[in-house]
Structure 1
Amino acid sequence: MRPTITFFSGLNTIGGTHVLIGCGEDAILFDYGARPSAHYDWLNPAVHMELPRGLRQHLLTRKAPPVFGLYDPDYLGDLSYEDVIQNAWDGMQFPRYKRVSAFVSHIHQDHMELLPFLGEQVDLYMHRDSVSVYDGVVASGEWYGTKANVIGLADGEERQIGEQLHIQLRETDHDIAGASALLVTAGGHKILYTGDWRTHGRHRDYVERLFADMAAQHLDMIITETTQLKEETLWQKQLPQKELELPGLYREMLQGAQGLCYLNILCRNVERVADFIKVTKECGRTLVLDRATALLWHTAATEGLSHLEGDPVLEETGAIRLFEGEDPSGLPYETVSLREIVHHKKDYVFYLIYPKTPIMAELERTGEQGVPSHYFHADGNPLFAGDKILHAWLDDFGVRYHFHGTFGHAIPREITRMMKLASPKLVAPLHGNHPELLDTGEIPKLLPTFGQTFDLDKLFS
């Protein structure tokens, strides 16, 4: 079969990107998360799709790609490919392959939510740090595991898939460990999928090197995310707050606080968690975790993270405690009681994830009084500063709020700069609400429709 590329979704939404590149008998699908369709917000925590019937529901609402070679037959049941094509995709025809592999650029829900539905016949590629983070997410109970054959790759590592597909993983920078781009060669055509990326993170050098290297590859296409692209940001010049500024801001808050401190950061960003464990200890405080957060961190850290290799923080157990009532089995941390915390508030930082916000009532209205608490919020859920529920709790107890979101995505100017640096023949912007606004200079843009397939030989003839 001739080399083709099919764009199923994620074309004008933030997340849910599903792109299939195939040649001969083999194909690779990336990414593998889920997002509501472009015009409907159908799901929330009360209305959701779960195992085992969830795969059928995702397929019939076009939130999972109609690539049946990916899926566990047990979850498909008697649902046929023809059912999905005729009833969900209005009879559209797509390339079909004997073998289909998958790639996940990083372990954020909008890029990996559908992993539990993959079958054991599927080779699933991701950065080896992403494997550790995913295993931590599964161990914590936050998400389900996968039956797929998970293959962790290092930066720059390559794989041949069948006779006519070749891939290379390239590490980038995002607000999570293991974020990577994928260079796919199909029938002689070279296509780079960026995943999510930014130029204000701790590994900016990876991003600069990636796009400089791609200029020498003479790429046919770059498929890039455009999350931050909207009319009001088109001429933004200043980069968002840099990742490496956060530990200093956190330290500043701790040094100025006399009472209890709260911390809300996304635990999947394990390198940031490592920084905050260190600062917490250096400031003479102990970090208190719930079991799920502790399991995620401990599992990812002990399995191995390339940028934390040999870091003493991996052996640090004395600076961490589990909150009372949390099961300590399988974890190297002692527990601490509510009574101990509320009578020695200046000695603790409470890692308070959003669903457990009501614990604040016990922590604020018992024990030591009269000294305000502080809440440090940096990209933990809720992702933005204005959540009404969170602020209702903070305001009621007089807790002082410190918001320091860094955002995981490049500003439009930086996307334009990198596209011009890499200089492909074509740019396909997606993973954003307004990809059509991307300035690519003289490089043509491809704005595919849902389910559109392109013959790569014809596209680049």
Structure 2
Amino acid sequence: MTSVSFFGGIGSVGGNCILIEHGEYRIMLDNGMNFPSEGRYYKDFLMPRTGNDLRDYLTLDLVPKIPGIYAKAMIRDLCIDSMDSSVQYMYDASLQSYEDYLKEHGCPFIDGFFITHAHVDHVRNLQFMAPQIPTFMSELTKKMLEVMGEVSKIDFLHLHPNTLAEYGDMSYFPGTIKKARNSIERDIYVVHPGESRILGDISVTGFPVDHSIPGAMAFRVEAGGKTIIYTGDIRFHGVEQESNNSFHFVEMMEKMGMNDVLITEGTRIRSEEGESEQSVYERALGFLTASDEQDNAFIFASFPWKSIARFLTVYRLARKVGRTLVIQPKLAYLLHKIRKSEILMGINILRNEDIRIYQPRKLSMLYSDGDYIFKKEIISPDSNWDKTTKEYIFYRDLYGNSKHVRAPEIHHSPGKFIVHLDYYDLNELIDLDPRSAGGCFLHLKTEPFDEEMEISQSILENWIEKFNLQMEIFHASGHASGSDLIAMIHKIRPDVIFPVHTEHPDLFQEKLGGNFRVMSEIQEGKKYLV
């Protein structure tokens, strides 16, 4: 028999975690961070303790308590056997590890883990899972995770268990025990568009879809004559080359038929319509060209650095108004890494003269190369520097000395630029200093939550007011509208619908009427037979 179980994404936005079983085989779809639940315990500088994070998460019920998927090194401290029994409870999460499950049963608990896209509410818990688990994702999602590991220091493609070591002679306490991080590469496989992966009696086929981050995939799972479709996060209103992917996915599901179960996101099930990337462009352009006041003023554009679709919209806007787009270093690093991707039409867009990279001041604040040893991505498209050879690669070597732009150049000629400036870059307003020239701050949101929890709107507004800027909000979501979701369901025509990634699962039945069966009250961990 084939069954599906849910361990996250139930009645909330994010934290998806789905288990599909057929006979002795199991696969998992996503395993991510639940923003609302995590926000109850952690925010800003209050976060899980380094070296104890999974055990902290398990204690607070912030990750799925599924036996046999997490690495033993993440569950049980390697020093526990040498400790007094009275303190061992602090070093063991009391959940069966991947290794212990394998030893007991002779086979792993899951045969494969499939990731829809690189947002943390779908992938965060991969960092705790055993590296031996075959993990599947699109090529672009793998590239996104590589970049996140290099610039954000969250390494999803390796497990980092501790090993025992000793402090050296130059330390305060030579010879005493410490823990050192090891690195184990994960068993990663790329799923190409339309490609099927066979795991025992389960077949999983990947289909690219449109979302606010490139590389998103939906999956069609076939087992025992049953079919389960999982949309992941999906929308139909992004840039054309990506929105077409979503329409093609729906057409293929309609054509293939025999769709028993549809697991669909429902973030915006309440909304009938919404803004598109095209409407964001048109409205922002209308605002910027409505008067001559913006001609010599600052224009800032705020959007997530991983949203390539939004970057393309802002770049199109900059070209239309005759300005150079200045992007933040993380975005430049990503663009260089994915320069051959479909969303960029296979073009190395950084070669364009009307795109430049902002160079913030760090450490000594003198723009010296040595100021960027801890933020290599600011001046280099390769963060893996080799001190022995000193053969470092710099943007200036690849794209010319004028590729970087510093604050004074923008400050003295603000009418030449649109400056990408996100929430965590607001300190740069001090160096850019737009108080005299004034200008606007285009707040181009894409998600209900950002990746480091909710942005404090009041803090953003304080910065805007302090630096004499006018904020305008133009929002196109990374998620399909309610009307688009209903249209998708009518085409796919599943026997049963499981709404996830939504606070309003009950609205699906209301909008669909009695023609479809909707499981609006999903019970965590329950096996639903297909």
TM-score (norm 1): 0.84
Q: Deviations over 1:88-123 (max 9, x none)?
A: xxxxxxxx9544321111111211222222322022
Residue number in structure 2 paired with 1:450: 524
Q: Secondary structure at the match of 2:334?
A: helix
Query: Is 1:396 aligned to residue 466 of structure 2?
Result: yes
Q: Which structure's relative contact order is higher, taking Cα pairs within 8 Å and 6+ residues apart?
A: 1
Q: In the aligned structure 2, how far is the partner of 1:314 from the partner of 1:247?
A: 21
The question of whether the paired residues in 2 share the 8 Å contact of 1:125 and 1:151 is answered with: yes
Query: Counterparts in 2 of 1:215-254, with a 5 A limit?
Result: 215=254, 216-229=256-269, 233=270, 236-237=271-272, 239-252=273-286
Residue number in structure 2 paired with 1:310: 346
Q: In the aligned structure 1, how far is the partner of 2:76 from the partner of 2:323?
A: 53
Q: CA deviation at 1:62?
A: 3.0
Q: Secondary structure at the match of 1:70?
A: coil
The question of whether the paired residues in 2 share the 8 Å contact of 1:23 and 1:187 is answered with: yes
Q: In the aligned structure 1, how far is the partner of 2:153 from the partner of 2:277?
A: 25
Residue type at the aligned position of 1:12: G
Q: In the aligned structure 2, how far is the partner of 1:37 from the partner of 1:321?
A: 34
Q: Secondary structure at the match of 2:267?
A: coil
1:343 pairs with 399, 407, 412, which one? Answer: 412
Q: CA deviation at 1:448?
A: 1.8
The question of whether the paired residues in 2 share the 8 Å contact of 1:37 and 1:63 is answered with: no
The question of whether the paired residues in 2 share the 8 Å contact of 1:222 and 1:426 is answered with: yes
The question of whether the paired residues in 2 share the 8 Å contact of 1:15 and 1:431 is answered with: yes
Q: In the aligned structure 1, how far is the partner of 2:495 from the partner of 2:446?
A: 38
Q: Secondary structure at the match of 1:416?
A: helix
2:314 pairs with 276, 279, 304, which one? Answer: 276
Residue type at the aligned position of 2:526: Q
The question of whether the paired residues in 2 share the 8 Å contact of 1:374 and 1:402 is answered with: yes
Residue type at the aligned position of 1:400: Q
The question of whether the paired residues in 1 share the 8 Å contact of 2:13 and 2:35 is answered with: no
Q: 1:170 to 1:385 in 2, by over 3 A?
A: same
2:238 pairs with 201, 217, 220, which one? Answer: 201
Moved more, 188-197 or 389-398: 389-398
Query: Is 1:288 aligned to residue 338 of structure 2?
Result: no
Residue number in structure 2 paired with 1:90: none
Q: In the aligned structure 1, how far is the partner of 2:188 from the partner of 2:71?
A: 15
The question of whether the paired residues in 1 share the 8 Å contact of 2:227 and 2:259 is answered with: yes
Q: In the aligned structure 2, how far is the partner of 1:81 from the partner of 1:210?
A: 44
Query: Is 1:102 aligned to residue 123 of structure 2?
Result: no
The question of whether the paired residues in 1 share the 8 Å contact of 2:227 and 2:261 is answered with: yes
Larger radius of gyration: 2
Residue number in structure 2 paired with 1:329: 380
Residue number in structure 1 paired with 2:356: 320
Q: 1:434 to 1:380 in 2, by over 3 A?
A: closer
Q: In the aligned structure 1, how far is the partner of 2:311 from the partner of 2:416?
A: 19
Q: In the aligned structure 1, how far is the partner of 2:7 from the partner of 2:420?
A: 39
Q: In the aligned structure 1, how far is the partner of 2:410 from the partner of 2:144?
A: 30
Q: 1:325 to 1:335 in 2, by over 3 A?
A: farther
Residue type at the aligned position of 1:226: G
Q: In the aligned structure 1, how far is the partner of 2:527 from the partner of 2:66?
A: 13
Q: In the aligned structure 2, how far is the partner of 1:43 from the partner of 1:226?
A: 25
Q: Secondary structure at the match of 1:224?
A: strand
Q: In the aligned structure 2, how far is the partner of 1:108 from the partner of 1:298?
A: 20
Query: Is 1:12 aligned to residue 81 of structure 2?
Result: no
Query: Is 1:436 aligned to residue 475 of structure 2?
Result: no
Q: Deviations over 1:44-68 (max 9, x none)?
A: 2222236532222223333322334
Q: 1:43 to 1:21 in 2, by over 3 A?
A: same
Q: Deviations over 1:292-324 (max 9, x none)?
A: 34323332x24x422323335253366213324
Q: In the aligned structure 2, how far is the partner of 1:252 from the partner of 1:142?
A: 39
Residue type at the aligned position of 1:347: K
Q: CA deviation at 1:373?
A: 1.3
Q: Deviations over 1:185-205 (max 9, x none)?
A: 122211011111123223333
Q: CA deviation at 1:430?
A: 1.5
Query: Is 1:354 aligned to residue 423 of structure 2?
Result: yes
Structure 2 unaligned residues grouped into runs of 5+:
78-88, 97-106, 159-185, 363-371, 373-378, 382-393, 397-402
Q: Secondary structure at the match of 1:184?
A: strand
Q: Deviations over 1:349-378 (max 9, x none)?
A: 322120221322332267xx2x32111121
Q: In the aligned structure 2, how far is the partner of 1:146 from the partner of 1:54?
A: 18
Query: Is 1:210 aligned to residue 249 of structure 2?
Result: yes
The question of whether the paired residues in 2 share the 8 Å contact of 1:281 and 1:319 is answered with: no
Residue type at the aligned position of 2:488: M
Q: In the aligned structure 2, how far is the partner of 1:380 from the partner of 1:151?
A: 29
Q: In the aligned structure 1, how far is the partner of 2:226 from the partner of 2:443?
A: 44
Q: Secondary structure at the match of 1:438?
A: helix
Residue number in structure 2 paired with 1:265: 303
Question: Could you tell me the percent identity over the aligned residues?
Answer: 22
Moved more, 52-61 or 425-434: 52-61
Q: CA deviation at 1:435?
A: 0.8
Q: In the aligned structure 2, how far is the partner of 1:47 from the partner of 1:306?
A: 39
Q: Deviations over 1:139-164 (max 9, x none)?
A: 22263332222222222111101x21
Residue type at the aligned position of 2:47: H
RMSD across aligned C-alpha pairs, in angstroms?
2.9
Query: Is 1:188 aligned to residue 187 of structure 2?
Result: no
Residue number in structure 1 paired with 2:103: none
The question of whether the paired residues in 2 share the 8 Å contact of 1:25 and 1:99 is answered with: no
Q: Secondary structure at the match of 2:297?
A: coil
Structure 1 unaligned residues grouped into runs of 5+:
86-95
Q: CA deviation at 1:385?
A: 10
Residue type at the aligned position of 1:341: I
Q: CA deviation at 1:264?
A: 0.8
Q: Secondary structure at the match of 1:212?
A: helix
1:155 pairs with 186, 193, 201, which one? Answer: 193
Q: Secondary structure at the match of 1:287?
A: strand
